[in-house]
A and B are shown apart, each in its own frame.
Chain A
Amino acid sequence: MTAVANHFSYWATLFIAIAGLYIVIARGNLVKKLVGLAIFQTSVYLLYIAPGKLIGGTAPIIADGFAVYSNPLPHVLILTAIVVGIATLALGLAIVVRIKEAYGSTEEDEILAQDQATLDPLSETKT
């Protein structure tokens, strides 16, 4: 039980990561897939940030009376990662909008069925 409690942040990270990946794989809706992807990426933020905090640590500013500092580097890194994540999500949603315009649907199986439908007559006429 203590093993779980001591590594609580890692368990949380793991849970979020797997939940996100599961959504990406299991959902057929393109937007939902992107949401899953965003959740998956969020888990990475936690993976970086959580170990940076030391219990009793303060912000890394040199001052009297404080000897333990938290590591500021993960925050900087994750700020970058968040920006990257937003860019990815924005681009993904933009592509979904265009897919919706082109196919009239955001369900993966419907789109694939449409592709199949446009492909099949072509190959039949040619053979």
Chain B
Amino acid sequence: MVVPLIAAPLMVLLRHGGFAWLLATVASWSSLAVSAALLGEVAGGGVISYAVGSWAPPWGIEYRIDSVNAFLLVLVSLIASVVVIYCRDSVEAEVAPEQHYLFYTMYVLCLAGLLGIAATGDGFNLFVFLEISSLSSYVLIALGRDRRALMASYQYLIMGTIGATFIVIGVGLLFLMTGTLNLADMATRLPGVTDTRPVLAALAFLTVGISLKLALFPLHLWLPNAYAYAPSAVTAFLAATATKVSVYVLLRFYYSVFGESAIFSALPMGEILLMLSLAAMFIASIVAIFQQDIKRLFAYSSVAQIGYITLGVSLDNMTGLTGGIVHLFNHALTKGALFLLLGGIALRVGAVRFDAIGGIGRVMPLTSFGIVIGGLSLIGVPGTVGFVSKWYLVLAAFEVGAWWLAALIVLSSLLAVIYVWRFVEVAYFREPGAAVAKLREAPLSMLATSWLMVAACVYFGLDASLTVGGAAQAAAELLGSGR
């Protein structure tokens, strides 16, 4: 995590696009190596604690890695490493040359922030990293070519800051009640004051704040525009990581700090989350069906998919939580792949509206086929990652005896069939227009990285032992730490 943080100012000093890219690549790949090593370390269920500045926790800031956030660290740095290679050609086309080094600076800062959120064990430190990643992502979004990107970025800034401020208020109230900011320490002190009103208020503030960040259904308004108008590489990176990290924060506060019993037994949080998740799955999917812009379509589909993740969380059993965490990983892969491929189309066509890409399946076969596979994964067809996570979610629904819920999960997947089919129809069954017929495939670096993600979608769909194993252990850790 320190690596990208050091790399960022270096890039500003050097002010050179190509060099900054090299540095960003080195930074993200080394983060990936460190994260993978960390995951290996904690795989046995251990906890690594690092006291920043040698101030012993709970007084100093503590970085605390267990199997939950090690899993997430690997996910975030993996996506970052893949996307950064993709960036080279994509950013070349979409961002003004003199801003290249700034783009990579922001990219690395955003990565540092996201990794920091995942690694930290300190409530206030979490807010600071959250703001580091958010501020840099506002800038990244504003770099989009379209002037609407500015408005999208502004709206995201307003909503994101309100969300972050809600989180600070929540953390502040908890701090007042427990006298500590260390999350693990807070968890041991909370039971004494669980039923007091400030703690309940803190829970409410945290829930709303984090939900804003993770775009849970009624609070998702910033997401579609931000994703649609940001540069392609940014969309892929943010869609695959930013909301996922927020889900982790939610999990951390719900299970590790407040404890499962306080959240799900004493309060109707599970039911509330469940209803919102279902609303997200259906309403966002239906809205997605009517979109003209494919990036917006998949952005709305992201909102729906986040619904599946929170659905897994709300069920509050081992299988559901595993399903939620697996889906977190799988959806990151799928959406990452989809947005990367769309970036290829955006590069060649200039727009990703349905009416501009008729017949694209014939001139860009690899890209289109990749999108179809990604789409199948969104639907949850066996053999793709989407199937694995939905399988677990359905199992979890049966486990709590809610067969109607399982039916709803399958039903909402059918909605995904409709919007994926729209792409298939336009891409394959329409004659290519004169403008489309001249196009070539996307450049190799973009195509290769996109397909790497697509291949990962299929691979982890066929052999889920790694992801499900990691997620199951993370779920066990979270449920175990709940009192």
**Complex CA distance for A48 and B127, rounded to whole angstroms:** 14
Q: Report the stretch among B47-55, B87-95, B168-176, B265-273 that lies at the interface.
A: B168-176
With A87-B131, A91-B135, A126-B355 known as contacts, the answer to whether A44 contacts B162 (CB < 8 A) is no
User: Are A44 and B172 touching (Cβ within 8 A)?
Assistant: yes
Tell me if B157 is interfacial: C-beta within 8 Å of chain A: yes
With beta carbons under 8 angstroms apart, the residue of A40, A95, A126 that contacts B138 is A95
Tell me if A96 is interfacial: C-beta within 8 Å of chain B: yes
Query: What class of interface size applies to chain A in its complex with B?
Result: 20 to 34
Tell me if B147 is interfacial: C-beta within 8 Å of chain A: yes
With A80-B128, A88-B157 known as contacts, the answer to whether A40 contacts B165 (CB < 8 A) is yes
User: Are A41 and B176 touching (Cβ within 8 A)?
Assistant: no
Tell me if B153 is interfacial: C-beta within 8 Å of chain A: yes
CB-defined contacts of B158 to chain A, threshold 8 Å:
24, 33-34, 37, 92
With A37-B162, A44-B168, A81-B168 known as contacts, the answer to whether A96 contacts B128 (CB < 8 A) is no
Tell me if A18 is interfacial: C-beta within 8 Å of chain B: no
Tell me if B139 is interfacial: C-beta within 8 Å of chain A: yes
**Complex CA distance for A33 and B157, rounded to whole angstroms:** 11
User: Are B157 and A92 touching (Cβ within 8 A)?
Assistant: yes
Tell me if A19 is interfacial: C-beta within 8 Å of chain B: no
Tell me if B154 is interfacial: C-beta within 8 Å of chain A: yes
Instruction: Specify the chain A residue showing the minimal Cβ separation from B157.
Output: A92
CB-defined contacts of A102 to chain B, threshold 8 Å:
147, 150
Q: List residues of A (38-75) whose CB comes within 8 Å of B's CBs.
A: 40-41, 44, 47-48, 51, 73
With beta carbons under 8 angstroms apart, the residue of B157, B161, B175, B176 that contacts A95 is B157
Tell me if B421 is interfacial: C-beta within 8 Å of chain A: no
Tell me if B124 is interfacial: C-beta within 8 Å of chain A: yes
User: Are A96 and B124 touching (Cβ within 8 A)?
Assistant: no
Tell me if B151 is interfacial: C-beta within 8 Å of chain A: yes
**Complex CA distance for A51 and B178, rounded to whole angstroms:** 13
Q: List residues of B (172-196) whose CB comes within 8 Å of A's CBs.
A: 172-173, 175-176, 181
Nearest CB of chain B from residue A108's CB, rounded to whole Å:
9
CB-defined contacts of A77 to chain B, threshold 8 Å:
124, 181
**Complex CA distance for A41 and B158, rounded to whole angstroms:** 12
Query: What class of interface size applies to chain B in its complex with A?
Result: 20 to 34
User: Are A41 and B165 touching (Cβ within 8 A)?
Assistant: yes
User: Are A87 and B135 touching (Cβ within 8 A)?
Assistant: yes
CB-defined contacts of A81 to chain B, threshold 8 Å:
127, 168
CB-defined contacts of B168 to chain A, threshold 8 Å:
44, 81
Q: Is the interface of B mostly helix, strand, loop or mixed?
A: helix
User: Are B150 and A80 touching (Cβ within 8 A)?
Assistant: no
> Which residue, of A80, A88, A103, has the highest number of chain B Cβ atoms within 10 A?
A88
User: Are A91 and B124 touching (Cβ within 8 A)?
Assistant: no
**Complex CA distance for A37 and B131, rounded to whole angstroms:** 14
Q: Is the interface of A mostly helix, strand, loop or mixed?
A: helix
User: Are A88 and B131 touching (Cβ within 8 A)?
Assistant: yes
User: Are B151 and A88 touching (Cβ within 8 A)?
Assistant: no
Nearest CB of chain A from residue B56's CB, rounded to whole Å:
15
User: Are B150 and A95 touching (Cβ within 8 A)?
Assistant: yes
**Complex CA distance for A17 and B139, rounded to whole angstroms:** 26
**Complex CA distance for A90 and B355, rounded to whole angstroms:** 39
Residues 107-127 of chain A, each 1 if its beta carbon lies under 8 Å from chain B, else 0: 000011001000000010010
**Complex CA distance for A69 and B206, rounded to whole angstroms:** 30
CB-defined contacts of B154 to chain A, threshold 8 Å:
30, 92, 95-96, 99
With beta carbons under 8 angstroms apart, the residue of B135, B148, B161, B292 that contacts A37 is B161
Instruction: Specify the chain B residue showing the minimal Cβ separation from A50.
Output: B176
Nearest CB of chain B from residue A13's CB, rounded to whole Å:
9
**Complex CA distance for A40 and B176, rounded to whole angstroms:** 19
User: Are A123 and B292 touching (Cβ within 8 A)?
Assistant: yes
**Complex CA distance for A96 and B150, rounded to whole angstroms:** 8
Q: Given known contacts A37-B161, A98-B142, what 14 new A-B pairs fall within 8 Å (CB)?
A: A17-B169, A21-B162, A24-B158, A30-B154, A44-B168, A44-B169, A51-B176, A80-B128, A81-B168, A88-B135, A91-B138, A91-B139, A96-B154, A98-B150
The 30 sampled A-B contact pairs (Cβ below 8 Å) are A24-B162, A30-B154, A33-B158, A37-B158, A37-B162, A40-B162, A40-B165, A44-B165, A44-B168, A47-B169, A48-B172, A51-B176, A81-B168, A84-B127, A84-B128, A84-B131, A88-B131, A92-B158, A95-B138, A95-B142, A95-B153, A95-B157, A99-B147, A102-B147, A103-B147, A112-B151, A115-B148, A115-B151, A123-B292, A126-B355
Residues of B near any A CB (own CB < 8 A):
124, 127-128, 131, 135, 138-139, 142, 147-148, 150-151, 153-154, 157-158, 161-162, 165, 168-169, 172-173, 175-176, 181, 292, 355
10 closest A-B pairs by CB: A102-B147, A84-B131, A126-B355, A99-B150, A95-B154, A48-B172, A47-B172, A44-B168, A92-B157, A77-B124
